[in-house]
Amino acid sequence: MKSTEKDVTFLGKETKFEGTLGFHGSIRIDGYLKGKIEAKGNLIIGDEALIEADIHVSYASISGEVHGNVTADQRVDIQAPAKVFGNIHAPAVVIGEGVIFEGHTKMYRALDSATGLVGADEYQGGPPPNITAIYGIVADRETGKPIKNARVTGKGHGKVKTETNAAGYYELISLKEGKWKLQVNADGYRKEKSEVIITGEGIYEKRIELDAK
């Protein structure tokens, strides 16, 4: 998701804000904020920002330091030199190489304000067709049972990682063309490696099965 500078409101490096921040559209924070951020909009947290707040927005791009839980209705992108200390809830989460992250992730499918969220164990969808992604299920090879909290890392043109939800579902999104090597680690299972070659825009499904130790 991209925004031009003229569409973004800036809170500069010298800004210090305490309280609840709400906004419409897109906002970039490069200063200090303590309290709460809640808005139907796009939040960009710059490299030098320090945020001590729980966050609930439509889309979050994080390069700074965040202490608090992050919830996004669409997606969370975390890129170095980001430091995030808290849990992340979003339909899609991308964590770049070099990020410091202490917490848990959970992916869900958003419905609408009336019906709320579909739990991770009910997730039946896939990535939107307008992005390039690898997605699938991580399961026990012998029983076929989905494995939750499996750590999935993709290395290709860059490095991305995520964790499976309660349905064993994972997504690696916004990928570039080329060969992507996947590695999956889960407690109680042997490490598994796989490979996907992306030849153009679209979504690529890859089921990965693990052997118990």
The per-residue pLDDT for range 1-24, each reduced to its tens digit, is 333 333 568 888 888 999 999 988
Question: What is the average per-residue pLDDT within 36-58?
Answer: 92
Structure confidence at residue 77 (pLDDT) = 84
In this structure, which amino acid lies at residue 12? G
Asked whether residue 154 is assigned to any structural domain, the reply reads: yes
Asked whether residue 179 is assigned to any structural domain, the reply reads: yes
Instruction: Examine the domain organization and report whether 9 and 86 are in the same domain.
Output: yes
Are the beta carbons of 165 and 89 closer than 8 angstroms?
no
The residue from 54, 78, 110 where one domain ends is: 110
Taking the C-alpha atoms of residue 189 and residue 69, their distance in angstroms, rounded to an integer, is 29
Q: Give 182's strand partners.
A: 154, 194
Looking at the chain, the whole-number percentage of residues with pLDDT higher than 90 is 44
Question: What is the average per-residue pLDDT within 73-86?
Answer: 89
Tell me the CA distances in angstroms from 96 to 6, 21, 170, 194, 211, one per residue in order. 27, 27, 15, 19, 27
Taking the C-alpha atoms of residue 117 and residue 130, their distance in angstroms, rounded to an integer, is 22
Sort strands 100-102 and 105-106 into parallel, antiparallel or unpaired.
unpaired
Residue numbers of the domain that contains 140: 129-210
Asked whether residue 123 is assigned to any structural domain, the reply reads: no
